[in-house]
A = this chain, B = another copy of it.
Amino acid sequence: MAAVPMIELWRGGMLESVHAGHAVIFGPDGIEAAWGDPEAVIFPRSSCKMLQALPLLESGAADAAGLGDAQLALACASHSGGGIHTRAVEAWLNGLGMAEGDLRCGVHMPWDKDENKRLTCSEGAPCQLHNNCSGKHAGFLTLNRHLRGGSEYVEIDHPVQKAARAAFEEVVGETAPHWGIDGCSAPNFACTVTGLARAMQFFAAANPDGDARQSAAARLTRAMMAFPELVAGEGRACTELMQACAGQAAVKTGAEAVFIAILPGQSRGIALKIVDGGTRAAEAAIAALLVRCGVLDPAHPAFDKRLPSAQKNWRGFTYGEMRLAPGFG
């Protein structure tokens, strides 16, 4: 099946642009709703960081290092590289007797407005702590210390990545047909949209007092919902949508327009991919599905921010709006 139109941009009463995608809502009994091709194979990118973090907890490495929910939220984060993020990751690494140089995520300018301005205006250079994946990598380093693996923990055959792949494939319920190198240099494993939604349903239904994997999944979900500002940052969709859902959903974006949601109260998981990689559409689409599931109030400003009923130009004139495509949401 082909991708279906999901998000439309209208101007002057005319459809100007449209985004198509695939989405699945997975419940306790399987697929409850689907759009496009549920079997489409995608790279989850950063939307599956909570899957990559499972071995960190299941191995006992997290407890051995005394990690709290803030660190677990950072392990699942694509953070903005603001002060609250970089300081927390730096302290975490120091607690392990490690430093920024042990990371293998690479360097990019932080998205956080204040930190970006501070670096720009002081001619300062960003470091790996600013990388949006530095928390995930701190988690990898924590697991690696426990596994006593080599320093190049992002290599495909490294014990850390073998553990991440095994956990990913087991929870997704599929053998990854492909893998690619992510922006942060870690391997990213492909799966179907249904597999990703199934994994999120597992997280949603996970019993905190269950086996190692169940309790790990439940704890990671709780950590993400407890620290939405650490999972992304000020003004970001993941942060604002989790705050708006007030404990009813953990949501996470991935590059190239992937989005997932974990709905613990409903034992439901959601996964979607906008095929053109348009983030604006992925954010609008997940917001619509959160409303559909009843965990996001459509009257909440976080919804209209992602699916604007009135888009304004530089002089404040309304020129159009974003809409859900017929049949979606």
Contact = CB atoms under 8 A, between A and B. Distances in A.
A185 B317 contact: yes
Contacts of A107: 314
Contacts of A131: 314
Nearest to A189: B12
Copies of this protein in the assembly total 2
A178 B315 contact: no
Interface residues of A, number: 48
Contacts of A257: 17
A107 B313 CA distance: 10
A180 B11 contact: yes
A63 interface: no
A178 B277 contact: no
A317 B184 CA distance: 10
Contact of A178 (B9, B14, B182, B188): B14
B314 A183 contact: yes
A240 to B, nearest CB: 22
A181 B318 CA distance: 8
Given A256-B9, A314-B108, A43 B14 contact: yes
Given A9-B277, A19-B276, A256-B9, A319 B181 contact: yes
A160 interface: no
Contacts of A317: 181, 185
B256 A313 contact: no
From A16, A188, A256, A275, residue with most partner B Cβ within 10 Å: A16
Contacts of A117: 120-121
A19 B257 CA distance: 13
A106 interface: yes
Contacts of A121: 117, 120-121
A11 B44 CA distance: 12
A18 B276 contact: yes
A16 B314 contact: no
A313 B185 contact: yes
Interface in A256-280: 256-257, 274-278
A178 B106 contact: no
B185 A320 contact: no
Interface string A19-41: 11000000000000000000001
A131 B81 CA distance: 29
A182 B319 contact: yes
Interface in A279-329: 281, 313-315, 317-320
A183 B120 contact: no
Contacts of A177: 14
Contacts of A185: 313-315, 317
A13 interface: yes
B182 A313 contact: yes
A48 interface: no
Given A11-B188, A16-B42, A181-B317, 16 more contacts: A9-B277, A12-B190, A13-B180, A16-B43, A16-B277, A20-B276, A105-B314, A106-B313, A106-B315, A108-B314, A181-B313, A183-B313, A183-B314, A184-B314, A185-B315, A278-B278
